[in-house]
Amino acid sequence: MSTSYAPPVQRLVAELSKLPGVGNRTAQRLAFHILRASAEDAASLAEAIREVKEKIGLCELCFNLTDEARCRICQDPRREQELICVVEEPSDVIPMERTHEYHGVYHVLGGALSPIDGIDPDDLKIAELLARVVSAQLSVREVVLATNPTTTGEATALHIAEELRGRAPDVKVTRLASGLPVGSDLEYADEVTLGKAFAGRRAV
């Protein structure tokens, strides 16, 4: 932003630039939109940002985002408490919910193991997951490891699978299938995905 702009505008552009995927040009465009918007709209946005930081915390059971002690999914009596889907981030719950195929509960780790970034099992909600499964062992039927199909996500899934095998051998531990995305083209599939798709091939 040109230094000929007033400090409050420069400040807003700087703050907006910190958002993911928002470069300087986009931040300027957003700032000019906010400047053109009504005072009420701008106040609503500012208030929504404040409110979300003030009211939203982590569910005491699954560590998903919530504005109460327990999240809506954990509180929902229609959800199967015997089925736990383990994901890395609260944002990973959304795509799972969008499938409308999953009716169990969640456990949000808060990230994935990555020794290179200094993220050890203690930095994630792994102990809490083990405690949750062990303490309720009679009722937990299956743990679905839905960490990302990345190096760190796979390492996290493997680590949790091993821990669970040791402490709760009766609980079934599964992993989301890797393979070709629906609607994709073999021609453009990367070799790792195609390899996984081949290894995981099923009888028709």
Query: Does residue 50 bind a second copy (CB under 8 A)?
Result: yes
* Rounded distance between C-alpha atoms, residue 162 and residue 129, angstroms: 13
What does the longest C-alpha to C-alpha distance in the chain come to? 68
Query: Does residue 28 bind a second copy (CB under 8 A)?
Result: yes
Candidate residues 6, 116, 182, 203; the one interacting with a second copy per rule CB under 8 A? 6
Query: Does residue 140 bind a second copy (CB under 8 A)?
Result: no
195: which 2 tokens?
């390899």
Least distance to a second copy from the beta carbon of 81, Å? 15
Q: Which is nearer to a second copy, 72 or 167 (CB)?
A: 72
Q: Which is nearer to a second copy, 16 or 124 (CB)?
A: 16
In a 10 Å sphere around its CB, with 0-12 CB exposed, 13-18 middle and 19+ buried, how is residue 53 labelled? exposed
Q: Which is nearer to a second copy, 24 or 135 (CB)?
A: 24
For residue 88, which amino acid is it? Answer: E
Least distance to a second copy from the beta carbon of 75, Å? 10
Map the footprint of a second copy across residues 66-95, applying CB under 8 A: 66-68, 71-73, 76, 89-91, 93-94
* Rounded distance between C-alpha atoms, residue 64 and residue 46, angstroms: 24
Query: Does residue 134 bind a second copy (CB under 8 A)?
Result: no
Q: Hey, which bits of the chain come out as E strands?
A: 57-58, 65-66, 80-87, 104-108, 142-145, 172-175
x/- binding map, residues 92-131, to a second copy, per CB under 8 A? -xx--xx---------------------------------
Task: Give the closest residue to 133 by CA, choosing from 176, 103, 173.
Answer: 173
Q: Are 133 and 167 in contact (CB under 8 A)?
A: yes
**Which residues of this protein are in contact with a second copy, per CB under 8 A?**
1-9, 11-12, 14-16, 18-22, 26, 28-35, 37, 39, 41-56, 65-68, 71-73, 76, 89-91, 93-94, 97-98
